[in-house]
Amino acid sequence: MESFVKPPEHDLRLALDGCTLKRKRGVRELASRESAPDGSNQKMPDVPADSVTPRPVESPSSSRSSEKEEDGPIGLVLGGGEGEGDARSLTCVSHGSISVIGRRRSMEDAVTEVPGAVAGKLGSYDFFGVYDGHGGANVANACRDRLHKLLVKEMEGRTDVCCDGGGESEWREVMEASFGKMDEEVGGKGVDSSMRTAGSTAVVAVVGEEEIVVANCGDSRAVLCRGDVAVPLSRDHKPDRPDEKERVEAAGGRVIDWNGSRVLGVLATSRSIGDYYLKPYMTAEPEVTVVRRCLSGQIQRRFPEELRGSSAAEAAAVLAELAMARGSQDNISVIVVELKKPNSKSP
């Protein structure tokens, strides 16, 4: 299972106050956000908790035989809303998600799920992204609506990435170009002034048949999971991380300890999309990780026992439940993507 989550302060960032969560017939029910047909996360009207149930989204031709397999499925987890299935998806079995306001007064998270974002001659790639906004939801919502489109356009011009199984350097160029264009869109000329004082972290996963590509900008997280093993695929961009502090200071900025380390005493993350009032100390350049679907070893820690054998939607709810139990004070967003086994011959 591969997992992408926004951490709370220093741990999983998934607070669950603000939504109703309970067990009923073995399934956790919750009032969450619902995805539009194109995979973008749109806020829905408040509804009774009993009327909304997290559900897995399965590809039409997939088989749920993974429960019988010894090691369990490989999958993704990110923060977000409930995803709808798409017949174009060839790389994942199912995906489910949750996004709730938590203990905050406003919702600044946004999530994108686009199965089959790239298809045809370029191969098949699914897109998943979690955006943790600050200073308002404007930038996070813009990333939700645009970043995957910018990435697809960039990929279409790079056959060395899609068709030839690009390495980390090629994927890094594609991701850096996409994030850079997104950053320009939210802070360029003609943009509303409120957008220039807002920003968002971004962690995205492009899931292909042979590889999983993760790009991270900020302190949201990605984790790859198989069975009960979890392997971090991203590193938090924090102002007190030695290399990040050096970069900020080299650009003329300062890291100030004000209720924790912050860039100029303001932001607790050292990279983001937007935040033009803190340029050039803040950068939108992502760190990129490419993992082949046949990953083995690299054991870091045990994956929570509650997630073993769960559907994607149930796993997302469990992660949110754990975050609430750990006292998270922030919005909560999680996406879980169950992937086919690397050697699966099913269509």
pTM over 0.85: no
Model pLDDT for residues 288-297, shown as the tens digit of each residue: 999 887 644 3
pLDDT at 19: 31
Question: Does the structure show a pLDDT above 60 at 27?
Answer: no
Tokens 């949110």 sit on residue: 320
In this predicted structure, the answer to whether residue 38 has a pLDDT above a threshold of 90 is: no
State the Cα–Cα distance between residues 77 and 97, nearest whole angstrom.
8
168-187 and 138-156 helices, crossing angle to 10°: 140
Specify the range with the lowest mean pLDDT, choosing from 56-70, 197-211, 288-302.
56-70
Q: Which residues, in sequence order, are CB contacts of 33 under 8 Å at separation 6+?
A: 41, 42, 43, 44, 80, 81, 82, 98, 99, 100, 111
Of the candidates 247, 226, 243, 225, which has an alpha carbon nearest to the alpha carbon of residue 235? 243
Mean pLDDT across the stretch 26-50? Answer: 37
Cβ-Cβ contacts under 8 Å for 223 (sequence gap 6 or more): 2, 3, 4, 5, 77, 230, 231, 232, 233
Mean pLDDT lowest for which of 120-124, 201-205, 277-281, 296-300? 296-300
| pLDDT band, residue 1 (cuts 50/70/90) | low
Pull the structure tokens for residue 43. 């806020």
Provide the CATH topology of domain 2-236+285-339: Phosphatase 2c; domain 1 (3.60.40)
Name the band, by pLDDT with cuts 50, 70 and 90, for residue 63.
very low
**pLDDT confidence of 23, banded at 50, 70, 90?**
very low
CB-CB contact of 143 with 198 (8 Å): no
* DSSP line for 170-186: HHHHHHHHHHHHHHHHH
Which has the minimum average pLDDT: 77-86, 168-177, 180-189, 288-297?
Answer: 77-86
Examine the pLDDT at 174 and tell me if it is beyond 90: yes
Instruction: Give the pLDDT band of residue 311 (cuts 50, 70, 90).
Output: confident
How many other C-beta atoms lie within 10 A of the C-beta of residue 209? 14
Mean pLDDT of the chain: 72
Q: What ranges do the domains of the chain cover?
A: 2-236+285-339
- Residues 329-345 pLDDT 10s: 888 888 888 875 545 54
Contacts of 237 (CB under 8 A, 6+ apart): 216, 217, 218, 219, 244, 269, 270, 271, 287
| Whole-number percent of the chain with pLDDT over 70 | 63
